[in-house]
């Protein structure tokens, strides 16, 4: 049977606050990461930056993830996080743009992207990281068995396998295909266009996302907020080709990416973390840690990476710290999940664009706080007050998320129900009361 030898760690021994106690069992590493996606990759970068002596093993079934781009807004991360993620960045822009049928808007918020190649290069420079090409067949809190029968042990084991916990979530979907072109002539775009929605709408809310990596290389991504997760790649590529022709771009395809991201309308986080107790620490998509409306996962992955990097101890200790963060985040995301319900359940498929078009007319600081999940009560009221982008009756039907969890077939129905929407935010209740009285009116002077 094929062996997966662990390569010796290079360099001289360095004192580490994570070193095992004298007389303790000889371990394979200080930290084992299962899965080679974004969440575990950022943990490896953060841990290596914080404590280069902390030995890390990353177990992944195949080659490093290919054909993917991860992005974030400058205001999504703090200065410390931006510092340790810097080596993995593929490109940074000083601003961004959105386009809708009734306007174009330039936003002076920085934006940055990682690609599979830039992330792999950054990980290759982490001397304390060993990658093992294998599949984990059994995962526990301190041990991992891989598919050749070998067992690896460490005080802390992280599960970043990427399995979405669908039993605890009610989901819509964001489907995308991206084609990176090397153009024969400059494409004449110098900032990302996060949403070009000045295009035909079908299969839900549709927009094109473009990232200009160099003056001739550009990523063109067709994205759709859809009710179903089926992805017809050929259909997307035909649409991308048509968009490129419309803008006069000709060239050679150098990279392609595709994906179906979850958009959360409901999440029983308490039940999820209760059921995971005693096992490895779930992170990333495995723990439902993504933005409920946009599907962005990098900001939350970076914050969890910081927690792991700064938390000495074994799996139970790290589990408790990540769980505490995740539950607090899920609570803060209640309003965002409500917005996702408005998008998928209150708006007709062809009308979803109006919700985003109205949202992007709001003040830039509010938009930044939305992406960072730091909305204030005033922000929430501002988002709701004005001319309703959806029928009022449909909006009221979206207040509760429990019935969506029931419809999604949540397991363990005899579990004590967690009141996921026990009280409306005061501003939200007041706004919706106004809606019921027909007072959701346009405040065009404020937009």
End position of a domain, from candidates 274, 296, 330 = 330
Same domain, 315 and 375: no
Residue 7 in any domain: the answer is: no
Average pLDDT estimate for 203-216: 96
pLDDT reported for residue 385: 86
End position of a domain, from candidates 242, 262, 282 = 262
Residue 161 in any domain: the answer is: yes
Q: Say how far apart CA 239 and CA 221 lie, in whole Å.
A: 10
Q: Is the pLDDT of residue 424 over 50?
A: no
Q: Is the pLDDT of residue 4 over 80?
A: no
Strands lying side by side in the sheet with 91-93: 69-73, 111-115, 91-93
Q: Is the pLDDT of residue 414 over 90?
A: no
Structure confidence at residue 409 as a pLDDT band (50, 70, 90): low
Residue 222 in any domain: the answer is: yes
pLDDT reported for residue 431: 44
Same domain, 350 and 422: yes
* Contacts of 127 by beta carbon, 8 Å cutoff, 6+ apart: 9, 10, 11, 48, 52
CATH number of domain containing 76: 3.50.50.60
Same domain, 304 and 373: no
Same domain, 396 and 276: no
Same domain, 270 and 140: yes
Structure confidence at residue 313 as a pLDDT band (50, 70, 90): confident
Please state which of the ranges 138-142, 164-168, 426-430 shows the lowest mean pLDDT: 426-430
Residue 229 in any domain: the answer is: yes
Q: What is the mean pLDDT of the chain?
A: 86
Residue 205 in any domain: the answer is: yes
User: What does the pLDDT look like over 344-397, one tens digit per residue?
Assistant: 999 888 889 999 999 999 999 999 999 999 999 999 999 998 776 788 888 888
Same domain, 174 and 317: no
Same domain, 273 and 203: no
Query: Strand 129-133 relative to strand 56-60: parallel, antiparallel, unpaired?
Result: parallel
CATH number of domain containing 175: 3.30.70
Choice between 66 and 189, residue whose per-residue pLDDT is larger: 189
Please state which of the ranges 44-48, 93-97, 189-193, 384-388 shows the lowest mean pLDDT: 384-388
pLDDT reported for residue 63: 58
Query: Strand 91-93 relative to strand 169-183: parallel, antiparallel, unpaired?
Result: unpaired
User: What does the pLDDT look like over 271-285, one tens digit per residue?
Assistant: 999 999 999 999 999
The CA angle 27-273-136, to the nearest 5 degrees, is 40
Residue 5 in any domain: the answer is: no
Same domain, 256 and 390: no
pLDDT reported for residue 177: 97
Q: Is the pLDDT of residue 170 over 90?
A: yes
Same domain, 189 and 69: no
Residue 19 in any domain: the answer is: no
Q: Which of 47, 60, 41 is nearest to 307 (CA)?
A: 47
Same domain, 66 and 148: yes
Within 10 angstroms of residue 251's Cβ, the number of other Cβ atoms is 17
pLDDT reported for residue 395: 85
Question: How many domains are contained in the chain?
Answer: 3
At residue 430, φ and ψ (nearest 5 deg) are -60, -40
pLDDT reported for residue 56: 96
Residue 370 in any domain: the answer is: yes
Same domain, 205 and 346: no
C-alpha distances (whole Å) from 67 to each of 180, 187, 258, 330, 432 are 10, 22, 7, 29, 43
Same domain, 124 and 138: yes
Average pLDDT estimate for 19-43: 78
pLDDT reported for residue 66: 56
Look up the domain containing 151 and give its range.
31-89+113-167+266-330
Within 10 angstroms of residue 238's Cβ, the number of other Cβ atoms is 12
End position of a domain, from candidates 311, 330, 349 = 330
Structure confidence at residue 437 as a pLDDT band (50, 70, 90): very low
Percent of the chain's residues with pLDDT above 70 = 84
Q: Is the pLDDT of residue 423 over 60?
A: no
Percent of the chain's residues with pLDDT above 90 = 75
The upper half-sphere exposure of residue 251, i.e. CA atoms within 13 Å in the direction of its Cβ, equals: 23
Q: How far is CA 333 from the centre of its chain?
A: 13
Query: What are 141's two structure tokens?
Result: 């809190």
Query: What are 433's two structure tokens?
Result: 């009361």
Average pLDDT estimate for 302-330: 96
Average pLDDT estimate for 107-129: 96
Choice between 432 and 74, residue whose per-residue pLDDT is larger: 74
pLDDT reported for residue 402: 85
């Amino acid at each position: 049977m094929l062996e997966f030898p662990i390569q010796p760690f290079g360099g001289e021994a360095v004192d580490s606050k994570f070193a095992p106690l004298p007389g303790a069992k000889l371990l394979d590493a200080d930290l084992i990461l299962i899965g080679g996606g974004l969440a575990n990759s950022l943990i490896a970068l953060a841990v290596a930056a914080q404590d280069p002596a902390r030995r890390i093993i990353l177990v992944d079934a195949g080659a490093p993830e290919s054909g993917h781009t991860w992005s974030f807004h400058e205001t999504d991360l703090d200065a410390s996080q931006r510092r340790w993620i810097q080596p993995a960045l593929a490109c940074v822009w000083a601003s961004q743009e959105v386009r809708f049928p009734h306007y174009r808007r330039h936003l002076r918020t920085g934006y940055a992207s990682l690609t599979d190649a830039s992330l792999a290069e950054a990980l290759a420079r982490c001397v304390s990281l060993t990658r093992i090409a294998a599949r984990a067949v059994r995962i526990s809190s301190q041990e991992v068995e891989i598919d050749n029968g070998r067992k690896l042990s460490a005080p802390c084991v992280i599960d970043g396998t990427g399995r979405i916990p669908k039993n605890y979530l009610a989901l819509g979907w964001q489907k995308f295909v991206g084609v990176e072109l090397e153009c024969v002539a400059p494409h004449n775009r110098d900032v990302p266009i996060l949403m070009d929605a000045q295009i035909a709408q079908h299969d839900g809310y549709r927009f094109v996302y473009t990232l200009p990596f160099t003056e001739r290389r550009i990523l063109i991504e067709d994205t759709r907020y859809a009710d179903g997760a089926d992805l017809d790649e050929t259909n997307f590529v035909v649409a991308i080709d048509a968009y490129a022709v419309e803008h006069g771009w000709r060239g050679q395809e150098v990279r392609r990416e595709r994906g179906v991201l979850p958009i959360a309308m409901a999440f029983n986080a308490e039940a999820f973390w209760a059921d995971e107790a005693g096992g490895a620490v779930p992170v990333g998509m495995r723990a439902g840690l993504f933005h409920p409306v946009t599907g962005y996962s990098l900001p939350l992955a970076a914050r969890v990476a910081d927690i792991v990097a700064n938390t000495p101890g074994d799996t139970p200790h790290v589990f408790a710290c990540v769980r505490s963060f995740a539950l607090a985040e899920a609570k803060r995301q209640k309003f965002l999940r409500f917005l996702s319900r408005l998008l998928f359940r209150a708006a007709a498929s062809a009308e979803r664009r109006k919700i985003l078009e109205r949202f992007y007319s709001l003040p830039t600081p509010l938009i930044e706080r939305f992406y960072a999940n730091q909305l204030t009560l005033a922000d929430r009221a501002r988002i709701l007050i004005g001319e309703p982008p959806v029928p009022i009756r449909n909006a009221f039907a979206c207040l509760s998320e429990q019935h969506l969890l029931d419809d999604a077939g949540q397991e363990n129905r005899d579990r004590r129900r967690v009141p996921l929407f026990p009280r409306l935010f005061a501003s939200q209740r007041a706004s919706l009361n106004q809606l019921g009285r027909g007072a959701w009116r346009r405040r065009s002077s404020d937009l």
